[in-house]
Chains A and B, each alone.
Chain A
């Protein structure tokens, strides 16, 4: 089988998975010797059918799951088993799938939780920084988070993650439950973050929209990297359609 061409690396990888095996139980591995990387200042899109291991990549990188073998590296250092709070301190933030707000708390308290690991004296200025970026959140600051619309909630989730000024943002299915207009807004926001130097590693089922904003796409299949292409070239690639229609992609180099 012919290997798919891989794009020439524009920048050095900031994240690297080297033959990583990980899963939710010892007998059920989702990542099967997965090898992939993400480059600094780019949006790397992780796509693939259900069960391919996309979300598991994010959870393993963020320390929620520990690899049973292989190595996860962040800026060249192995981070296997490093707890999330330490990874946050190193500059990785994670926005999990679905609604991630604490609905019983106010918008302000949700934001404060985003800065839980920060020194308390730094928190007000960081919150102001986020509110300057998301004026809609400022208007709802004293409301209960559960009363916000889906788009507002997603803004708050991303804003909360940005409170720590992360260098890497892991985001799992940001378009879930959002209208097409709000999906565009979220993608535009992620693009702006990447253009400002934040590395974004995104899992997204809304592939066609996400590819328009991403720099690079990694297609996972059965816990392995099946394709690694510049996002712009993948939109019309028959491999992509074949994969999502139940076929198999040609393996990545």
Chain B
């Protein structure tokens, strides 16, 4: 398929998704919005981990920082949602930059634990700094924004809004990955010494991989807070980071659409299994998490490169 044809197909798919909101129930539209906000965060994680090769188990912390920045600024200070987005992105960018420093010293599972520790630290701050974060009670009544005079309060309007925002951040990510920066990230992942021998500043790009990935997590968090209109710490515990990591690996780490596919599966599959009314699947209402776990194990054994690696697998078989 030519790039032009692919773009047209993609545009049609996005349009079809947007139109589906007219035919779906409110809760189903909510789930689609949830997928959109999580994809923003997993897209950032895919940059840090999939493209730049820096292991991170701290993405939920940035998601949480973005959500709390939105909740605090909009409910306590009356700051506009539109102002909150760049504030959260910049704040997470700099926190991500700081989190990138351990990556200059340690790699792989050691780095995973360093970032996991950061996630736990952020969670503890959210839980214990009651004056600022509301502690375990969280912050409720987070407002949804207006687009000029159009209220985005309805589930359908907010879905279109998050979908449009996702398309914009995805285009920005695509441009980044196609720029020399994107190739520098890939070079850093493949072999840092080779990258250095070509004049790539591996210190700067390691830090940038974390910082940009974190900014995506933060922006996703802002949209998440607007979606659920209530934030509390447990959502941003490291188990959410594990879920995001799973989404990236499941879809295909280092592939542009990997986090999209992975996140949709991780969020929607349990719901589909749980709420299925088909007689053949009714037993799933009790066993859906077990079935979900088994499906993941089978999928990872069969396709360790993620679902999007299926094309490569077929090509290898054809070549053999």
Whether A and B are associated in the same complex: the answer reads: yes
Contact present for A114 and B196 (CB under 8 Å): no
Q: Which residue in B190, B193, B201, B254 is a CB contact (below 8 Å) of A96?
A: B193
A193 to chain B, nearest CB (A): 18
Given the known interface contacts A113-B184, A116-B180, A116-B184, the answer about A100 and B200 at a Cβ–Cβ threshold of 8 Å is: no
Interface residues on chain A, size class: 20 to 34
Given known contacts A102-B187, A104-B190, A120 and B180 CB-to-CB distance under 8 angstroms: yes
Q: How far is the CA of A92 from the CA of B196 in the complex (A)?
A: 13
A116 and B198 form a contact (CB under 8 A):
yes
Q: A23: shortest Cβ distance to chain B, in Å?
A: 16
> Do A112 and B194 have beta carbons less than 8 Å apart?
no
Interface residues of A in 95-141 (CB under 8 A from B): 95-96, 100, 102-105, 109, 112-114, 116-117, 120
Alpha-carbon distance between A120 and B197 when the two chains are bound, in angstroms: 19
Tell yes or no: A85 within 8 A of B by CB. yes
Does any Cβ of A come within 8 Å of B127's Cβ? no
Expressed in whole angstroms, the Cα–Cα distance for A65 and B184 within the complex equals 21
- Which residues of the other chain, A, contact B196 by a CB distance below 8 angstroms? 64, 84-85
Given contact pairs A102-B191, A103-B190, A104-B190, A96 touches B197 in the complex (Cβ within 8 A)? yes
Query: Quick check: A112 and B183 within 8 Å, CB to CB?
Result: yes
Task: Considering the complex, give the chain B residue whose CB is closest to the CB of A109.
Answer: B183
A213 at the B interface (CB under 8 A): no
- Bound together, the chains give a CA A114 to CA B199 distance in angstroms of 8
Report the bound CA distance from A64 to B186 in whole Å: 20
CB-based A-B contact count at 8 angstroms:
58
B199 touches A88 (CB 8 A): yes
Task: Tell whether A62 pairs with B197 under 8 Å between CB atoms, given A112-B180, A116-B180.
Answer: yes
A160 within 8 A of B: yes
Interface residues of B in 136-159 (CB under 8 A from A): none
Contact of B198 among A64, A89, A160 (CB under 8 A): A160
B3-20 residues with Cβ-Cβ distance < 8 A to A are none
Which of A84, A104, A109, A112 is the one whose CB lies under 8 Å from B197?
A84
Nearest to A106 among chain B residues (CB) is B183
CB–CB B186/A105 < 8 A:
yes
Q: How far is the CB of B192 from chain A (nearest CB, A)?
A: 10
The reply to whether the CB of A94 lies closer than 8 angstroms to some CB of chain B is yes
Given contacts A85-B200, A88-B199, A116-B199, contact A102 B194 (CB under 8 A): yes
Measured CA separation A104–B183 after assembly (Å):
10
Choose among B180, B183, B197, B199 the residue with the greatest number of A CB atoms under 10 Å from its CB. B197
Which residue of B has the minimal Cβ distance to A62?
B197
Whole-angstrom CA separation of A96 from B197 in the bound complex: 8
For B194, list chain A residues within 8 Å (CB): 96, 100, 102
Q: Give me the interface of B with A, judged by CB distance under 8 Å.
A: 180, 183-184, 186-187, 190-191, 193-201, 254
A83-B201, A116-B200 given; 19 more Cβ-contact pairs under 8 Å: A64-B196, A64-B197, A88-B198, A94-B197, A96-B193, A96-B194, A100-B194, A102-B183, A102-B187, A102-B190, A102-B194, A103-B190, A105-B183, A109-B183, A112-B180, A113-B195, A113-B198, A113-B200, A117-B198
Query: 6 A-B Cβ contacts within 8 A?
Result: A84-B197, A85-B201, A88-B199, A109-B186, A113-B180, A120-B180
